[in-house]
Amino acid sequence: MEYIIKNGIVYDPINGVNGEKMDICVKDGKIVEKVSEDAKVIDASNCVVMAGGIEIHSHLAGPKVNTGRMMRPEDSIKEIYAKKGLRCGTGFSIPSTFKTGYQYCELGYTFALEAAMPPLKARHVHEEFLFTPQIDVAALPLFGNNWIVFKYIMEKDYKALAAYVAWMLKATKGYGIKIVNPGGTEAWGWGTNVHSLDDPVPGFDITPKEIVKGLGMVNELLGLPHSIHVHPNDLGHPGNYEVTIETMKLLEDVKAKPKIGERWSSYHNTHIQFHAYGGTSWKDFESKALEIIDYVNKSKHVTIDVGQVTLDETTTMTADGPMEYDLYMMTKFKWANCDVELETGSGVVPFIYSRKNPVHSVQWAIGLEVLLYTDTDKVILTTDHPNAGPFTRYPRILAWLLSKEYREDWLYNKVHKWARERTALPDADKEYDMYEVAKITRANQAIALGLSESMGHLGVGANADIAIYEIDPEEKNGKKIEKAFRYAKYVLKDGEVIVKDGEIVKEKFYRTFYLDVQVDESLMNEVLKDVEEMFKRYYTINFENYVVTEEYANNWKPIKIDATNL
């Protein structure tokens, strides 16, 4: 099928296209130079045209998400999804799988990354992906509290660690290295936590600093498309901004060396909002966003995503087990907790962010400070779905960025005064333009994930993943902005129209991306001996039952990386 998208106002930062009125041609799933006279015309007059959106950090599939769904029937009934020709779904902050796929699609998103896959439970993640339509997907396995990782770092055997990472990515069908509260989740197995980069991990002669640095070096040794993806120690605690900056500094002299893609960063700090806190308690709690932003703007190796608080009732879930316990002690509502053998752990706690709450209002403002003051080549829009709010609030966040008037209506009339008194948000004059919106919702993600050859832009040869929004680029009415981005007028995926006039017109399942990293065979055999030994001694399941097999995807998309010369 051929299409020509006519007269749209195009925003494509990767190709430097900033609001030009131009036609986009589509043939055989790709963007092409031109099409034949018979091509179907899509009229995009008075519409903004961008590449499909890319989600870089979300909890959309797997055991944590499903635990959230089971423990929160009240969330399930809060939002019912029932549309003709589509599967029904439920859930506001933790939607069912079909609803998740549909709603990303309605926003014009065409790819989503599950940000925390417990390796032992990888099959559950992939099973949910099997029923998540409309988007390409991938998942990051957790490495930051894994005993085999600890063993090789303690032995300073980084080649063995690299081979183990390569094996794990293939075995779990994962896309990169996720680190959550390095050492802290392991400590939680002993009822404790780590609080600084030099705190030793109980039972191991290792520190968080060595874990982050070791995995960061190995990431570049292998030349993976994405950098290490880090949730540093001390998430959500007053005064944590210093640990955050110290953790970023660890990778300062580790250069990005991706074997594919155009990534320039060697460190991605996720949901930075939760890591930008000053004060010594909730009483003197304040924003330290500007300190963090100052470091990020000066650095040449860091990308961040925001984790914007949307001020909704939501469900928090993370591999940061001890943090969820702290949160539970504060809220005393519900709490689920899990230890994933020698790999990781997790917790799930419902949370109500309130506009009237001083701390929540400061958290809300910190996210906006990050988005408004950081170099827009380095910052990415997320809500850490569902931790700071559901991804379906992205349109409202864009409205806060595009319209100062709308943002200030919230700042001065809707949230607690601490947001004005304890952050720099009142001084932020900036308003985003559509070019910057395209950066923080698709282009920056594509580069950071090493996917920019085929995604995140509208150049010839790219996948024809396209979102068309019916909006005047100069629109300042917050409600109108929110509506336009909530339901894309058209979405094309692989060159097919799957959304028309805001309605999903075709349900389809797409690809699961993973990394197929080749390392030297004799090195791999040595490492597999260690892994099998661990299975014999510690794991409750057999080695043979661990690996995610072929039938766990609708369509695998392996990305081959040759790392045989380490």
Q: Residues interacting with Zn ion, by CB under 5 A?
A: 115, 384
* 491 DSSP β-pair partners: 467, 499
Choice between 39 and 397, CB closer to Zn ion: 397
Give 173-188 as a DSSP string. T--S-EEESTTHHHHH
Residues 133, 509 contacting (CB under 8 angstroms): yes
Neighbouring CB atoms inside 10 A of 315's CB total 26
User: Distance (Å, rounded) from C-alpha 292 to C-alpha 305?
Assistant: 12
Choice between 244 and 463, CB closer to Zn ion: 244
CB of 58 to Zn ion, least distance (A): 8
Choice between 14 and 381, CB closer to Zn ion: 381
Peptide bond before 386: cis, by omega within 30 degrees of 0? Answer: yes
Residue nearest Zn ion by beta-carbon distance: 384
Choice between 113 and 561, CB closer to Zn ion: 113
CB of 320 to Zn ion, least distance (A): 9
CB of 137 to Zn ion, least distance (A): 16
Choice between 324 and 384, CB closer to Zn ion: 384
Choice between 220 and 305, CB closer to Zn ion: 305
Q: What is the C-alpha R_g of the chain? A: 22
User: Distance (Å, rounded) from C-alpha 311 to C-alpha 59?
Assistant: 18
Choice between 95 and 358, CB closer to Zn ion: 95
Q: At what angle do helices 358-373 and 394-402 cross, to 10 degrees?
A: 70
CB of 132 to Zn ion, least distance (A): 17
CB of 236 to Zn ion, least distance (A): 12
HSE at residue 318, side-chain half, CA atoms within 13 A, is 36
Sign for the pseudo-dihedral over CA of 93, 99, 103, 105: positive
User: Distance (Å, rounded) from C-alpha 442 to C-alpha 451?
Assistant: 10
Choice between 97 and 387, CB closer to Zn ion: 387
Choice between 114 and 470, CB closer to Zn ion: 114
Q: At what angle do helices 147-154 and 521-537 cross, to 10 degrees?
A: 120
CB of 314 to Zn ion, least distance (A): 12
Gap between the terminal Cα atoms of the chain: 44
CB of 104 to Zn ion, least distance (A): 16
User: Distance (Å, rounded) from C-alpha 200 to C-alpha 340?
Assistant: 21
Choice between 114 and 136, CB closer to Zn ion: 114
Neighbouring CB atoms inside 10 A of 560's CB total 10
Token pair, residue 220, equals 């570049």
What is the SS3 assignment for 111?
A: strand
What is the SS3 assignment for 10?
A: strand
* Beta carbons within 8 Å of 239's beta carbon, 6+ residues apart: 277, 278, 279, 280
CB of 119 to Zn ion, least distance (A): 17
Choice between 115 and 135, CB closer to Zn ion: 115
Instruction: Show the CA angle centred on residue 58, arms to residues 379 and 78, nearest 5°.
Output: 120
CB of 318 to Zn ion, least distance (A): 6
Look at the chain and count its residues.
566
Burial of 433 (0-12, 13-18, 19+ CB in 10 A): middle
